[in-house]
Amino acid sequence: MDDNKEQEALRVLQAPTTSDDDKLGIDAVDFAEKSINQDADAEYALALRNLRPNSNGWKVSSLNGPANPIIADHAPRPDNAPNRAPSTTKAPANPTITTQGPTNAPTEPPNCDRWTGWFDRDNPSGNGDFETLLHLRRENPGKICSTPSAIQARVRGSQVPASQTGEHFDYYDTDVGFACTNYRQSDRYCQDYEVRFCCSQNPNSGTTNAPANPTIATQGPAPTEPPSVSQKIIFPGPRGIDDYARMETTLSEDLTSFTLCVHMRSNMDSSNEISLVSYAVSQSYNELILFVKGGFMLHLQSYIQMADPPVWDGEWHTVCTTWRSSDGAWQLYTDGALTASGSGFRVGGRVRRGGTWILGQEQDVVGGRFDADQSFIGELSEVNLWDRVLSPAEIAADCSYHGNVIDWDTTNTRVFGQASRAEYQCGK
């Protein structure tokens, strides 16, 4: 352990919060995540920047067991408090949560009329899964309100609520966020979790609990919603190999079905070869590609020609493609309408995990060897991926629906060359 870093983390823990401490606070939490193991001070450092001093000193949050999504045990840490070794005992399935207030903790998440999207910045391949508010806010500016009223966590992919997994969580509250360290689990490994926060102006509005997996109404007109503010990637041209974007995520599990959607704007000619989305693994550089050559093509190691809808007019369009392994059924939607469909494509196949996602270029090795004659000029946004075939109603929902494998709003996307980011208002 780095003694200087340890002292730095402890100094920040013992000091009042000021606006000048942000960088130091981030360093302290980074240090804590790397040295979490049996270090009690690292546990305190993990909570650092999302807490505020009160009359009793720093308020530290800790849970010994699967947490209720909105209840935490808040206990002040006096300056002279001894270091405490974290418990390694597996918590019971239904732990008693002790608070300084009422003990009748609610068993359901609160009614909330405005949940954020799902965030997944970390995975348990290191010391654990750390979905801390400090890092989530830093990596997703403007996406999380300053004082969330509730938090929910679930297993990525299976969407099992965290409270049903039986795992031990170090933190699960709206002060710190969510943290699960591997060494505290019976099998020494956390599952991969994603989190979301309630940013409602009226967290008790409504008469029913907000579902973890929203459904699309099939009767009556959908309510009109204001435009959703997101980001877009601009690929300015001319064509070359330097301008592209990389989504800092991968597949944690193989896919046997999917829906891939993208918002695009371009005045290119569809007779060109154009790569919009490219996913490559070591076994195949054409693992999954949304490609254009005389119309849209879906590559899944081999490819199928789909259709050539009129989307190259310099206006925004939504393009979605679906595929299912069991019968090879595929579909192409443009602007919410079914454009083409078929079956028998790659029956029994799968999209393999662990690859690299590139936007605007086609990979001939993982992460590189681009071809300028296949590059994209235009703008891309709302690249979302689901691990199932969405219904027509879900695809039509567009801006209000986010991928459960890749959620554009919560996925960090790096730009290279002259590619740049700008604000994008979905639905405007």
CA distances from 422 to 319, 358, 381 (A): 20, 18, 10
Q: Is 419 in contact with 243 (CB distance < 8 Å)?
A: yes
Residue 31 in tokens: 């240090």
- What pLDDT band is residue 37 in, cutting at 50, 70 and 90? very low
User: Is residue 209 scored above 60 in pLDDT?
Assistant: no
For the domain bounded by 228-426, which CATH number is listed? 2.60.120.200
pLDDT for res 21 = 40
Q: Residue 325 and residue 327: Cα distance in Å, rounded?
A: 6
Q: Is the dihedral of CA 120, 249, 386, 232 positive or negative?
A: positive
- Beta strand 330-334 pairing with 244-247: unpaired
By DSSP bridging, strand 257-265 and strand 378-386 are antiparallel
Question: Which segment of 197-206, 233-242, 277-286, 330-339 scores lowest on mean pLDDT?
Answer: 197-206
Q: What DSSP string runs through 136-163?
A: HHHHSTTSS-SS-SEEEEEETTT--BGG
- 420 pLDDT band, cuts 50/70/90, is very high
- The rounded distance, in Å, linking the Cα atoms of 75 and 58 is 9
pLDDT of residue 406: 95
Q: What is the mean pLDDT of the chain?
A: 74
The reported pTM is: 0.52
Among 152, 117, 387, CA closest to 258: 387
Tens of pLDDT, residues 337-359: 999 999 999 999 999 999 999 99
Single-letter residue type at 262 = V
Q: Do residues 195 and 118 make contact, with C-beta atoms less than 8 angstroms apart?
A: yes
pLDDT of amino acid 315:
94
Query: What's the number of CA atoms in the CB half-sphere (13 Å) around residue 88?
Result: 10
Contacts of 310 (CB under 8 A, 6+ apart): none
Please report the DSSP string for 376-414 in residue order: --EEEEEEEEESSPPPHHHHHHGGG---SSB-GGGS-EE
Domain ranges of the chain: 52-78+108-198, 228-426
Which has the minimum average pLDDT: 134-143, 181-190, 239-248, 343-352? 134-143
pLDDT digits (tens, 9 = 90+) for 366-413: 999 999 999 999 999 999 999 999 999 899 877 877 899 999 988 999
For residues 379 and 199, the model is more confident at 379
Q: Residue 62: what residue type?
A: S
Alpha carbon distances (Å) from 103 to 68, 96, 97, 99, 196: 12, 9, 7, 6, 24
**129 touches 191 (CB < 8 A):** yes
